[in-house]
């Protein structure tokens, strides 16, 4: 350890042996645990220093930077100017309390986002103590051996020492848009960054092939880290919802200013006192401002994201939560999303016949359940050999438990070999790999060249129709024969039958070769087929039916054979008739050449088979052109463009490549389709809750506006004071609005059609509802004061103080009961609605009532709010008229006059 030299200057100029010596690492064994621990202590974690978190003091100060606060400050300034000291200080106190509430909520939201970021951290595959293991990327140390495959993010700078047709996308670092071919050769010290073909750099990703590389730089010692230290991270942009709320608040302020000016001018012309007019104007200004609006919206989004995380959905962007509610098409992969991703070999077909088998990996046994048994034949031995050697996955045994690392299809093949008593690592050591042509979505074939004593051979596997094209011979009854067109057609037909029965079919082939062979996929000898089953997830059928009732179309996109795809789609209820079309990838023209009829055919189809990543991208474009909001699942590096293009990119957390996860809007930790449906449901609930509290806050505030406006226009001897309005806004607005933000949602939320993405938060129907709610509450509040005077206090002259108190308390009660009007499903009884069943609404109501009653018993507060103890008769009027507003609004809701 004492010989290690780090950091290394120009690692690309070192030979493999030199850099291995510099970093004191063994290429085969990697580092030991003790070496790793020592290097972590010396060189720290493999992290890029993030932009410093926003200091709590700055979070607090930012609460004052809003037009609404500026307007309140103007109101406070006017109060001080006219020597209304108490009112001025009270307004400042309210601004302070509001800022504290905002600070607490934003701080909580930031903590929630930090927790989500930790959940989305990626892992790296490294060789330590001769074993391939997965570790968190932050645990990588200089000298580690990285193993990377196509689709993996490169998580540290590393010198390549073993590569197989590898290409890397380094556009994020160099700006070069084309993938760079990677080689092992030595380079000159002055080679430019973009030309260092023997290096991998943090922040880029592998697009093809696989490599082994020695870590030469971690954390801030990487090229990415050096750039990051010079660049200040950009501020996060606001979400579309926040923009809508900001624009909405500005419009509200402009309307308020216009109202204030009208009342002020009207009052002056009527001969009213300037001071009284200013007080009324201040009261109007305060009444119009929904102080908690932006705060509650942000918290609702952040809390919604945390809630989704508990359901195995990691949402990376706030705006994705908004888009989820409007999604009307889900394009989903089959493997692992609709199925369990437990792929096992269940059928072997060779020239000897067809043998059905059942594997028991825990007991390491294979049971033959068919009449045919050719387990001792040469073809079966070759299939076992190809399953292990033409494979990049790993199968480790820890405490008698199998740990799978790699693609589920490949680990399924390894389990087949394992159950046939093949020890994976020793077997691979017996036939070392010389060369590899990795699987790609273009060729759909993988081939590897291996050394075996005095000769070498090629092992190949892939899609049936593609691999058969590469075969000129076939192994039948222990003999190699010519593979003519008639035989090829027979095997293709057999494959079709297996696929129609639901099996995933992989073809296998081999050929003898020498070490200098360059073309691994020509003149192969066809060996046979392996049929693999991946059981359907039990809960998916119900989830698809829920999507149908919610107006969401589910489209299955798979690389499988069309017959396999159709079989699965029928079982899941995606297709209801055998006559429904399955579009084959070979039928799909490029987007630029599509006719309108072809586009219509694409938009009508529910199943696409043998689809390439480019065709996925084209499909998204066609669906979006049809005004659909598209959610697209993906797991491979080539899926990244389609994920990015879609409205909601959904990456797989278990089998998804790191590149796919990087560009996606959300990640499914369990890869399950049901989780997508849960996320859409939560997205709908969150948006509906935001609507609820916006409607609630606005109707409460406009009711205050109407009361002040009516009292001013009709020259009543009583009205609400600015301080009372501020108190009401703090007590009866914020807490119930927060409670609405966590409503569970109605049972009918997934029986409604998707929301139009261009639909505003408050549409015309909701504006109508807001004004009706406000008018009813204002009328009942004013009615309580007028009724009390005309019935209970007829012998007395107008008592402005008493009438003011009746207005004040009645309005508080009206607004507290009003939260129960915010239910969205009017088909259910009042007592079974989602809001009525929300315990937080009742907590908020009780707290608000306690605070209101408590105000009478705290002399300074009672004095500031001009409170006087009410009589029992006055209390009964307050409660009666406040409940009357609830009854009237409920009748209007039930008769569908308002929402």
Q: Which residues are catalytic?
A: 333
Answer for the pair 195, 126: CB distance below 8 angstroms, yes or no. Answer: no
Torsion of CA 794, 795, 798, 803, to 10 degrees: -50
Radius of gyration (Cα) for the chain, nearest Å?
35
Indicate the DSSP class of residue 236.
P
Q: How many CB atoms lie within 10 A of CB 297?
A: 23
896 backbone dihedrals φ, ψ, rounded to 5°: 65, 25
Closest CA to 530 of 349, 342, 344, 378: 349
Classify 665 as helix, strand or coil: coil
Question: For residues 310 and 304, what is the distance between their CA atoms, to the nearest angstrom?
Answer: 10
Q: How far is CA 14 from CA 160, 513, 654, in A?
A: 11, 34, 37
Question: For residues 84 and 721, what is the distance between their CA atoms, to the nearest angstrom?
Answer: 12
Q: How far is CA 350 from CA 306, 494, 509, 527, in A?
A: 51, 11, 11, 6
Closest CA to 439 of 154, 124, 657, 165: 165
Residues facing 737 on adjacent strands? none
Q: Can the peptide bond before residue 7 be classed as cis, meaning omega within 30 degrees of 0? A: yes
Query: Tokens 């938009």 appear where?
Result: 603
505 backbone dihedrals φ, ψ, rounded to 5°: -105, 130
651 backbone dihedrals φ, ψ, rounded to 5°: -100, 150
Beta-carbon contacts of residue 410 (< 8 Å; ≥ 6 apart): 391, 392, 393
Question: For residues 233 and 241, what is the distance between their CA atoms, to the nearest angstrom?
Answer: 23
Q: How many CB atoms lie within 10 A of CB 444?
A: 16
Q: Where are the beta strands (DSSP E) in 372-503?
A: 394-398, 401-405, 433-437, 445-452, 455-462, 471-476, 479-482
Question: For residues 795 and 790, what is the distance between their CA atoms, to the nearest angstrom?
Answer: 9
- Angle at which helices 274-288 and 67-81 pack, to 10 degrees? 160
Closest CA to 778 of 802, 807, 816: 807
Answer for the pair 874, 806: CB distance below 8 angstroms, yes or no. Answer: yes
Question: For residues 379 and 144, what is the distance between their CA atoms, to the nearest angstrom?
Answer: 40
* Angle ∠(481,484,490) on CA atoms, nearest 5: 100
In the chain, what are the helix, strand and coil shares in percent, each to the nearest 5? 50, 20, 30
Burial class (CB in 10 A: 0-12, 13-18, 19+), 189: exposed
* Angle ∠(885,890,894) on CA atoms, nearest 5: 155
Answer for the pair 403, 396: CB distance below 8 angstroms, yes or no. Answer: yes
Burial class (CB in 10 A: 0-12, 13-18, 19+), 34: exposed
Question: For residues 705 and 257, what is the distance between their CA atoms, to the nearest angstrom?
Answer: 12
State both tokens at 244.
């809508």
Beta-carbon contacts of residue 475 (< 8 Å; ≥ 6 apart): 350, 351, 378, 379, 382, 481, 525, 526, 527, 528
Indicate the DSSP class of residue 161.
E
Q: How far is CA 654 from CA 123, 307, 340, 470, 658, in A?
A: 11, 20, 12, 33, 10
């Amino acid at each position: 350890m004492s010989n290690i030299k780090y950091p290394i200057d120009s690692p690309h100029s070192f030979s493999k042996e030199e850099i291995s010596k510099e970093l004191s690492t063994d290429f085969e064994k990697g580092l030991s645990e003790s070496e790793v621990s020592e290097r972590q202590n010396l060189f720290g974690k493999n992290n890029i220093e993030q932009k410093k978190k926003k200091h709590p003091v700055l979070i607090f100060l930012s609460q004052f930077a809003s037009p609404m606060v500026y307007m309140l400050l103007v109101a406070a300034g006017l109060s001080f100017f006219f020597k209304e000291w108490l009112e001025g200080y009270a307004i400042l106190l309210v601004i302070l309390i509001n800022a504290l509430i905002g600070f607490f909520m934003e701080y909580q939201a930031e903590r929630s986002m930090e927790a989500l970021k930790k959940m989305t951290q990626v892992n790296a595959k490294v060789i330590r103590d001769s074993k391939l293991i997965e570790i968190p990327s932050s645990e990588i140390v200089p000298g580690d051996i990285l193993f990377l495959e196509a689709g993996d993010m490169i998580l540290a700078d590393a010198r390549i020492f073993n590569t197989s047709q590898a290409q890397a996308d380094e556009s994020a670092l160099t700006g070069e848009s084309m993938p760079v071919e990677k080689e092992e050769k030595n380079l000159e010290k002055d080679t430019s960054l973009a030309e260092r073909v023997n290096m991998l750099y943090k922040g880029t990703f592998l697009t093809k092939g696989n490599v082994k590389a020695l870590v030469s730089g971690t954390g801030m010692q990487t090229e990415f880290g050096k750039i990051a230290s010079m660049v200040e991270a950009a501020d996060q942009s606001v979400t579309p919802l926040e923009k809508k709320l900001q624009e909405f608040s500005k419009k509200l302020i402009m309307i308020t200013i216009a109202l204030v000016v009208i009342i002020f001018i009207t009052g002056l012309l009527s001969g009213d006192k300037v001071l009284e007019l200013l007080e009324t104007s201040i009261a109007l200004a305060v009444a119009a401002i929904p102080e908690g609006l932006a705060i509650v919206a942000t918290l609702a989004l952040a809390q919604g994201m945390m809630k989704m995380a508990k359901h195995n959905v990691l949402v990376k962007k706030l705006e994705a939560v908004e888009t989820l509610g409007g999604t009307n098409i889900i394009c989903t992969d089959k493997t692992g999303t609709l199925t369990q991703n437990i792929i096992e070999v269940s059928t072997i077909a060779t020239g000897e016949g067809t043998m059905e088998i059942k594997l028991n990996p825990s007991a390491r046994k294979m049971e033959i359940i068919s009449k045919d048994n050719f387990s001792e034949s040469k073809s079966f031995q070759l299939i076992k050999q190809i399953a292990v050697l033409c494979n990049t996955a790993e199968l480790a045994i820890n405490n008698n438990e199998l740990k799978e690392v790699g693609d589920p299809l490949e680990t399924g093949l390894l389990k087949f070999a394992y159950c046939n008593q093949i020890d994976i690592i020793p077997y691979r050591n017996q036939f070392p790999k010389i060369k590899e042509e990795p699987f790609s979505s273009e060729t759909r074939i993988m081939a590897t060249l291996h050394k075996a004593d005095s000769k070498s051979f090629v092992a190949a596997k892939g899609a049936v129709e593609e691999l058969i094209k590469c075969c000129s011979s076939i192994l039948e009854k222990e003999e190699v024969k010519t593979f003519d067109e008639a035989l090829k057609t027979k095997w293709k037909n057999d494959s079709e039958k297996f696929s129609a029965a639901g099996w995933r079919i992989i073809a296998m082939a081999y050929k003898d070769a020498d070490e200098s062979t360059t073309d691994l996929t020509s003149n192969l000898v066809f060996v046979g087929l392996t049929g693999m089953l991946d059981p359907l997830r039990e809960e998916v059928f119900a989830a698809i039916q829920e999507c149908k009732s919610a107006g969401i179309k589910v489209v299955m996109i798979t690389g499988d054979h069309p017959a396999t795809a159709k079989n699965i789609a029928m079982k899941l209820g995606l297709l209801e008739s055998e006559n429904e079309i399955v579009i084959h990838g070979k039928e799909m023209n490029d987007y630029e050449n599509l006719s309108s009829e072809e586009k219509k055919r694409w938009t009508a189809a529910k199943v696409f088979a043998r689809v390439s990543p480019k065709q996925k991208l084209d499909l998204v474009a066609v669906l979006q052109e049809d005004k659909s909001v598209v959610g697209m699942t993906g797991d491979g590096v080539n899926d990244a463009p389609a994920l990015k293009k879609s409205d909601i990119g959904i990456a797989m957390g278990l089998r998804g490549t790191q590149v796919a996860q990087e560009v996606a809007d959300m990640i499914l930790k369990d890869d399950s389709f049901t989780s997508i449906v849960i996320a859409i449901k939560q997205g709908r609930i969150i948006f509906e809750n935001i609507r609820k509290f916006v409607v609630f806050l606005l109707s409460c505030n406009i009711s205050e506006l109407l009361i002040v406006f009516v009292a001013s226009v009709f020259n009543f001897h009583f009205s609400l004071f600015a301080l009372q309005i501020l108190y009401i806004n703090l007590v009866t607005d914020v807490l119930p609005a927060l409670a609405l933000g966590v409503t569970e949602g109605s049972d009918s939320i997934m029986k409604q059609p998707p929301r139009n993405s261009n639909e505003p938060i408050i549409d015309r129907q909701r504006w109508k509802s807001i004004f009706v709610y406000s008018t009813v509450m204002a009328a009942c509040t004013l009615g309580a004061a007028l009724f009390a005077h005309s019935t209970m206090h007829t012998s007395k002259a107008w008592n402005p103080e008493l009438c003011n108190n009746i207005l004040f308390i009645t309005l508080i009660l009206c607004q507290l009961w009003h939260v129960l009007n915010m239910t969205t499903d009017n088909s259910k009884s009042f007592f079974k609605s989602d809001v009525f069943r929300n315990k937080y609404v009742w907590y908020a109501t009780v707290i608000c009532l306690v605070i209101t009653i408590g105000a009478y018993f705290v002399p300074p507060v009672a004095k500031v709010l001009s409170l006087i103890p009410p009589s029992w008769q006055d209390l009964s009027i307050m409660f009666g008229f406040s409940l009357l507003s609830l009854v009237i609004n409920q009748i209007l809701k039930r008769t569908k006059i308002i929402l």
